[in-house]
Amino acid sequence: MSGVDLSLQIGSLKLRNPIMLASGTVGYGNEIAEFADLNKIGAIVTKSLSLNPRKGNAPQRIIETPAGMLNAIGLANVGVEQFLKEKIPFLKQYDIPLICNIAASTIEEYVECTRILTTEDAIKAFEINVSCPNVKEGGLQFGNSCQMVSEITAKVKAETDKPVIIKLSPNVSSIADFAKAVKDEGGDAVSAINTLVGTSFNIFTKRSKLKNVTGGLSGPAIKPVALAKVLEIKQKVDIPIIGIGGIMNWKDVVEFMIVGASAVQIGTLNFIDPYASERIVAELEKYCVENGINKISDLTGSYIL
Ligand SMILES: Cc1cc2nc3c(=O)[nH]c(=O)nc-3n(C[C@H](O)[C@H](O)[C@H](O)COP(=O)(O)O)c2cc1C
């Protein structure tokens, strides 16, 4: 025991450490459990769930890019009912806070999904995806409008006593305005960022490599953008921030916390090294010991300009 306190709290959501697994990169937990010990991770965020099952986009849905990847999965998921029946029992074996990510085509669908899921005790918080760039309805149509984000936050909050985190899009000119809208409607935290819109073409066939033409860019290529967005929110709005984007190691986590993140999510790295999240928890603890940090939450927003 090092004596370092890695824990933190966002509303009623208690985390043993700031490392969360990002939506869409570990399925419903089953895809990562054989590699990382889920009992040692801060929290797990499910793949985005919608009211009804979704098949997602046609392939090709994923391609590699320099320092990252483009995905256009299109929110393929089993739907809330099947999630509760078939996926929750697996997750209940573990002592890890479960955050359900919800995606929807209408405001009513966000509300309905929350109403159904909030009855399940194992679900400790909601992350509302208003920022998916890979679907025709919903997604960025919501994430690009402050008024929509306000309305979604207020209506989802009215449906549950559990913490509500709104996952923001970087594809906007002032992300802090969106964070303020979330705070004003009683949202408990924001996560930043979802993927950036990108594309890639084959120079010989002249066809787009992704069937959907555009996709979401993730991985180390987006880290500087994500850090700037977290800093912008931290400077302008008093709301807990979950930092996401291109985290590859413990140093990236520390950097996100310094610019303002209370916790972070690991996404693309899970595909490259599924053992990484558990290792990063141990490495963060070592960093704290070596640098005389007793409570990791003291790092949040400790930047010097
Ligand atoms: C293959 C893939 C699928 C994703 N699916 C979702 C999703 O269903 N819902 C969501 O909110 N974000 C989704 N994301 C976005 C990630 O949760 C994360 O915000 C983004 O990838 C940036 O973090 P990273 O650079 O660490 O991957 C997905 C990302 C990837 C790579």
pLDDT tens by residue, 176-231:
999 999 999 999 999 999 999 999 999 999 999 999 999 999 999 999 999 999 99
The percent of residues in the chain predicted with pLDDT above 90, rounded, is: 93
**What is the pLDDT at residue 192?**
98
> Which positions are annotated as active-site residues?
132
Is 246 a pocket residue for ligand 1 (Cβ < 6 Å)? yes
Q: Say which residues have a Cβ less than 8 Å from residue 89's Cβ, sequence separation at least 6.
A: none
User: In the beta sheet, which residues pair with residue 128?
Assistant: 102, 166
> Atom 31 (ligand 1): residue with closest C-alpha?
268
Q: What is the pLDDT of residue 135?
A: 64
- Beta carbon of 169 within 6 Å of any ligand 1 atom: no
- CA 13 to chain centroid: 15
Of the chain, the percentage scoring pLDDT greater than 70 comes to 97
> Does ligand 1 lie within 6 Å of residue 130's CB atom?
no
Q: Band of the pLDDT at 143, cuts 50, 70, 90? A: confident
Q: How close is the Cα of 73 to the center of ligand 1, in Å? A: 10
- Residues in a beta bridge with 132: none
Per-residue tokens: 39: 């009992």
- CB of 48 closer than 6 angstroms to any ligand 1 atom: yes
Give the closest residue (by CA) to ligand 1 atom 22. 245
Atom of ligand 1 nearest to the CA of 223: 25
Kindly tell me if the per-residue pLDDT of 31 is higher than 90: no
Q: How confident is the model at residue 260 (pLDDT cuts 50, 70, 90)?
A: very high
Confirm if 99 and 20 have CB atoms less than 8 A apart: yes
Q: Which domains does the chain have, with CATH numbers?
A: 8-299 (3.20.20.70)
Average pLDDT, rounded, for the chain: 95
Location of structure tokens 């899009």: 169
Residue 156: the pLDDT is 98
C-alpha–C-alpha distance, residues 118 and 125, integer Å: 8
DSSP 220: G
Residue 136: its pLDDT value, please?
A: 62
What pLDDT, on a 0 to 100 scale, did the predictor assign at position 132?
72
Write out pLDDT tens, residues 43-99: 999 999 999 999 999 999 999 999 999 999 999 999 999 999 999 999 999 999 999
